[in-house]
Chain A
Amino acid sequence: MGVIHILWLRQIKRYLRSRARMLGSLAQPLLFFVALGFGFGPVFEQAGNGSYIQFLAPGVIAMSVMFTSVFSGIDLIWDKQFGFLKETLVAPVSRVKILFGRTLGAATVAMMQGCLVFLLTFLFGFRPENMLYLPLAFLFMAFIAFLFTALGTALASLVNDMHAFPMIMNFLVMPLFFLSGALFPLENLPAGIRYATYGNPLRYGVDGLHISMSGLEGIGIMADMGTLLVFIVAIMGLGVYLFKRIEI
């Protein structure tokens, strides 16, 4: 437990010391709220879909958690290239513990980022439908954070080029984001694409947040949670396999 705690603590300390990173990563959610919230909001409401900010806010929170999580893989590439990983890999500690400590730390950072965006949503008029369901919303944020941190770590174990990593991740993550239901309802998509979205893990995270934060109807809390857990186990398993193969 000491090792996992210390690797978790390292990530938290690094995040809390980087105010620029903390504030900088609020820029994108802010842009989404201003541009999409004010731009599409009236259209969305005229179409009889209810308040757009109530729909958009959980999606933007999910986006923020996902991007922070997945791009934490850059830290691993940095550590591979500039040494700190060597320090941990020659220590008498199993690689699974190292991976778990790092993942837990980065996922916590992503959660903290998600909480900041959650506070930001209030400025744009978002109000949680039922305060009693908020713990559930935070649980979904944690699931998204853990899943995408594991994905970022798994890919960063394979990639050594710090410039290539964001491009690969954008190529992978942007479709997941746009087809997650974060920005628009998925019901009206063509059938083929709509069915494909069931293979998108972020869809279940966004759905869980929509239900727990805005009281919207969706796939269902238990189904969302169960599916996310399956994805987490699978991606963590892949991450362990790839992380164990790192040679530096």
Chain B
Amino acid sequence: MHGFTHRSIMRNVCMSEDVNKYSIEVTDLVKQFGDFTAVKGVSFSVRQGSIFAFLGPNGAGKTTTIKMLTTLLKPTSGTVQLNGIDPTKNQDTARKSFGIVFQDQSVDEELTAYENMYFHAMLYGVERIRAQAMITELLTEFELIERKDSLVKEFSGGMRRRLEIARSFLHEPNIIFLDEPTLGLDPQTRAKLWAHVLKLNKEKGVTVFLTTHYMEEAERMADQVAVIDHGAILAQGTVDEIKEEAGAETLEQAFLDMTGRDIRESEATGLERMRNFKRRR
């Protein structure tokens, strides 16, 4: 009895320590392209093993922020810590600690599903035998094992997305960035995809950082939410806290109240602004 109580206390202590650990810590992050500030001093922290939804309309600064977190863009100022590592200083160590699924397709259509996975494993220095075992495990998990030797160009959009997500878990990262992973997928595929992600989040304790335009997905999946618009964070907290703050019944209502209901004119993305800025120089 005494031993049981002690274990319970220890487990609670460990859990509370985990809860206080952050996988991602962002402080006053700024990105400027010439005189345009795409990200205006955003700060947030993402707890280890949690699911964090980063929401915002098109052109709000979501993808630019993800690019800075994942070393694709250098911040103008501010700090980022991924598992306690500064990606601007220890780029390779930071890169090993996360996986990413980009908004656009990033698998090679001319390669098979297995080859795409294997090439990723080699890029991340996964040992050959381990890589083979992990590929089989993940392709089975994501229900692609039957098609492992098929060229990706023969895959549907949903299958490609599943392959990309499976691939992002291959080097066993602690953090996964999912940039609008369900865009353009049918509800069945979306549901299946989230089930896989949720399972890996729970079983392996992987922190999930996601962006999505489907508010019901964020409401259902996320432990924490941040809403960004025009490069600044408008609100952050749990889904209930966000709804309460906006006095809304659903996350979608809260989101629309915060970011406005007018359709946004098509704004240049951060990348386009960056290229325009370089051209002007």
Contact = CB atoms under 8 A, between A and B. Distances in A.
Interface residues of B, number: 29
22 contacts: A5-B122, A6-B122, A10-B108, A10-B119, A13-B110, A14-B108, A14-B110, A18-B110, A82-B104, A84-B106, A86-B102, A86-B104, A87-B120, A89-B72, A90-B71, A90-B100, A91-B120, A92-B91, A92-B124, A92-B125, A93-B123, A247-B73
A14 B71 contact: no
B34 to A, nearest CB: 14
A51 interface: no
A88 B95 CA distance: 11
A83 B102 CA distance: 8
B129 to A, nearest CB: 14
Nearest to A246: B72
Nearest to A97: B123
A92 B85 CA distance: 14
Interface of B: 70-73, 91-93, 95-96, 100, 102, 104-108, 110-111, 115, 119-120, 122-125, 151, 271, 274-275
Contacts of A93: 92, 123
Contact of A90 (B95, B104, B105, B151): B95
Contact of A84 (B93, B95, B108): B108
A2 B96 contact: no
Contacts of B105: 82-83
B115 A91 contact: no
B110 A86 contact: no
Contacts of A25: none
Q: Which of B102, B105, B110, B120 has the most CB of A within 10 A?
A: B110
B111 A92 contact: no
Interface of A: 2-3, 5-6, 10, 13-14, 17-18, 82-84, 86-93, 160, 247-248
Nearest to A11: B110
A2 B125 contact: yes
A30 B275 CA distance: 41
Contacts of A18: 110
Contact of A160 (B119, B151, B275): B275
Given A10-B108, A87-B106, A92-B95, 6 more contacts: A13-B115, A14-B110, A84-B107, A87-B123, A90-B95, A90-B100
Contact of A3 (B71, B115, B122): B122
Contacts of B106: 82-84, 86-87
Contact of A247 (B72, B108, B110): B72
Contacts of B110: 13-14, 17-18
Contacts of A6: 119, 122-123
B170 to A, nearest CB: 11
A160 B269 CA distance: 15
A42 to B, nearest CB: 44
A47 to B, nearest CB: 48
Contacts of A14: 108, 110-111
